[in-house]
Chain A
Amino acid sequence: MKAEQGTKRDENLLGWFCSYTPLEIVRALGFRPYRMLPPLGRAPRADGFFAGNLCPYVKACLENALEGRFPPVLGLLLVPSCSAMTHLANLWRALELSGPVWVIDVPRSYNSLAVDYFSRRLEEVALQMASFYGRRLYKEDLWQAIEEEKQRKERLKGFLEERAAGNVFLRGARVLELLEEGINGANTFPDPGEGSAVPRDRLRLLLLGSIVPSYLLDMVEQAGAVSVVEDACNGWRLLPGEACGADSPYTYLAHLYLSKPPCPRMVADKGRRRRYLQDLLSRYRIDGAIYHVMKFCDAGLMDWILVKEELDLRGIPVLRVEGDYTGGGRGQWSTRVEAFLERLRR
């Protein structure tokens, strides 16, 4: 479902960035969510607006907006997940890049206070958006969007778990594409013929990071290993959490998103993140891991320490590579990945 990418005009697009954005609300309002995930590249214009020590992904978002490379969106539903995203919202508004910026604070923990607050904020923003865009928002529509999204994500989750268990195989880059297409609304799932035979005797890797570039997955495969789990904002963190019965769709969504695979920004939930990792490592055979740290991402930089501790405890080697969202440094990465796999084979 790549139709909305490029510059084709679509009157119904609403942009979003973070995996904690409740897409069900966007759909219930009759919009099509569009993830602002720009291609890798340098950001010379954005560099003029931001300081040097800021997240390169956020810079790339601004660069692509300034250059008109994103499709026109009617507005943004933005989660201020970190200082960089907050400043992106500032500039987006100041530069009047496109439509209003709807900011929704997502708590950094999962407890009753957080659920209560988040559900209220969800409802407030949803109603504000409905009023601003002159759309009606019925609870039934929202429940329906929740159900549709649930089915889509559950199918994706089922596929990812099968793949992690080694029962099916699909190239890592294609998996990331499928996820992106899925969250943008496509119901395209790998048909039985799309996957190839499950490779045996290959090293099985866990890939981690805020955004894992697909060419890193290609590199891993070319070097003779496979990526089986991608714990990233463009990977498994897009999957839903658990939501028990709730009378209000907003409370349901608050549970669903706050309990999803935790991102390192959920700082009050470090224990849950640790348990999530432990669960992944105990459920699937993992021979090694590669952590892609986005430069200047404070949450990722500290998460690396937690992940390393957990992997060290299990004797699972991990390679850390640092990325700046430019797509550069491939030669160096390739050499390091090959050397890392060589070490694992020994």
Chain B
Amino acid sequence: MRRKAFSPWVINTVKHLVALSSRAFPWRATYLMVLKALDQVAEAYLRRRPVVWHNVFFPTEILYGLRVVPFAPEAASALAVGLGLASEALNAASAHWVATDICSFHRLAAGLDLAGYFPTPDAVVCTSHLCDIAPQSLAWSADRHGKPFYLLDVPQRAKAEDATYVARQLKYIFYSLARDLGLSPDMEALKAAIGRSNEARRLLLEINADRQKLPAVIRGEEAHGFLYLMLTGWGADFTEEVYRELLEELKTRRREKKWAASREKFRLLWLHLRPYYPTEIFKILEEESGAIVVFEEMHHVYWEELDLDRPFYSLALKVLGHQGLSFMERRIQTILDMVREFNAQGVIHFAHWGCRQSTAGIRLLQEALRRENTAFLNLDGDCIDREKYAGGGVRTRLEAFLELLAASRLH
């Protein structure tokens, strides 16, 4: 029955209901983003154009440049948690031998696909960087659906020859997808997508610059919602639209002195993702304690403006520019820069169970932050599986962290 809830008719009905309830959204930009996301989901289910699954680190400009409908199973997993589908889907995955030690984003995605919730892909693309399980899981899905799978193999380094290697693969993927899906590989459309990506990037840089100002006007819990664009929307027209709206609202609220908290006590930086089921984390931090999450590592713009005349090469540089690649010094330096730029007194890393990439190097980061006298909390948990959430323990740890921050201020 619930599977039928994903029919185009129901999605359109939901869209109309959302459209009528704009006041339920504290930010107009959020409202706009939800409407656009629903449009995109509806397109995927209506299948008027080919649907290409991708991981969240794939440069989606390629997909928007091909005018296909991108679909990110990892992002859909986060959405499915909110819709209450997690238990059923996780059970479906377990029944198909998907082990519980695998990242729950991918276990859930596998389960949702097996249970018939996802739109069938016409092709699957994935990068190899930052996450070991994404390419494994997406390759398995492509195989299961009998669809082509293209891996973008990303080296750890970002020298010219590495960029050339990635660029050549991107070009190959662009033309191969066009061939497989019966599309015309239109370079002008790709350039247009890259142009939109550049404009969205410019707006996000302005948004981030605004968020550096004191005090904050948007709470971390609200800002986290916009990660959907960061992970799926580069090259789409709506990304630019939503960022423009958000920037306008940030400026208006700052002008009107509508602050994120009546009294901003601490400024925090958030690393990795957040749980997608209801928790008290942001209530404890932002509402009860005035500790505002002023920035998320995932919102960091790590790449330069893309070159319209060298689309594949500049996209390769974008991919290789991620702070999580290469040795840990790179990520640590990026985080230290963020701490300084955003005037953060503390850093919280949400250690999502199943993510080897983000959690394994935390000891070195912790030591680097300690040397800079920046408080650090490594908060263990799971973004998807609410059964791994221990509310009491989380509160205790957050309160201890806040006491530490207060004590540091006194000294």
Contact = CB atoms under 8 A, between A and B. Distances in A.
Nearest to A51: B359
16 contacts: A55-B356, A90-B328, A91-B364, A108-B135, A109-B151, A113-B169, A124-B161, A267-B139, A268-B135, A268-B150, A268-B153, A298-B102, A302-B136, A302-B140, A303-B136, A305-B96
Given A51-B351, A108-B151, A298-B356, A83 B156 contact: no
Query: How many B residues are at the interface, by size bracket?
Result: 35 or more
A87 B139 contact: no
A80 B165 CA distance: 17
A50 B365 CA distance: 12
Nearest to A301: B99
B356 A305 contact: no
A89 interface: yes
A86 B156 contact: yes
Contact of B363 (A50, A103, A293): A50
A313 interface: no
Contacts of B169: 113
A298 B60 CA distance: 25
A311 B97 CA distance: 14
Interface in B140-177: 140, 143, 149-151, 153, 155-157, 161-162, 165, 168-169, 172
A270 interface: yes
B139 A268 contact: yes
A277 interface: no
A320 to B, nearest CB: 8
A94 B96 contact: no
B205 interface: no
B161 A298 contact: no
Interface of B: 96-99, 101-103, 128, 131-133, 135-137, 139-140, 143, 149-151, 153, 155-157, 161-162, 165, 168-169, 172, 327-328, 351, 353-357, 359-364
Interface string A109-131: 10001101100110010000000
B81 to A, nearest CB: 20
A264 B136 CA distance: 9
- 5 closest A-B pairs by beta carbon, nearest first, are A268-B151, A302-B136, A105-B155, A87-B360, A51-B359
A84 B357 CA distance: 7
Contacts of A108: 128, 135, 151, 153
Contacts of B153: 107-109, 114, 268
A295 interface: yes
A215 interface: no
Interface string A93-106: 11000000001010
Contacts, number: 119
B100 to A, nearest CB: 9
A83 B328 CA distance: 11
B180 to A, nearest CB: 15
A298 B132 contact: yes
A306 interface: yes
Given A108-B153, A120-B161, A267-B139, A113 B101 contact: no
A293 B353 CA distance: 18
A103 B325 CA distance: 13
Contacts of A109: 151, 153
A133 interface: no
Nearest to A87: B360
B143 A270 contact: yes
A82 B361 CA distance: 13
Contact of B328 (A84, A87, A107): A87
A296 B328 contact: no
Most buried by A among B99, B103, B137, B362: B99
A105 B327 CA distance: 13
A302 B356 contact: no
Contact of B97 (A54, A117, A304): A304
Contacts of B97: 304-305, 308
Contacts of A304: 97, 99
Nearest to A303: B136
Most buried by B among A48, A93, A298, A308: A298
B327 A295 contact: no
B361 A298 contact: no
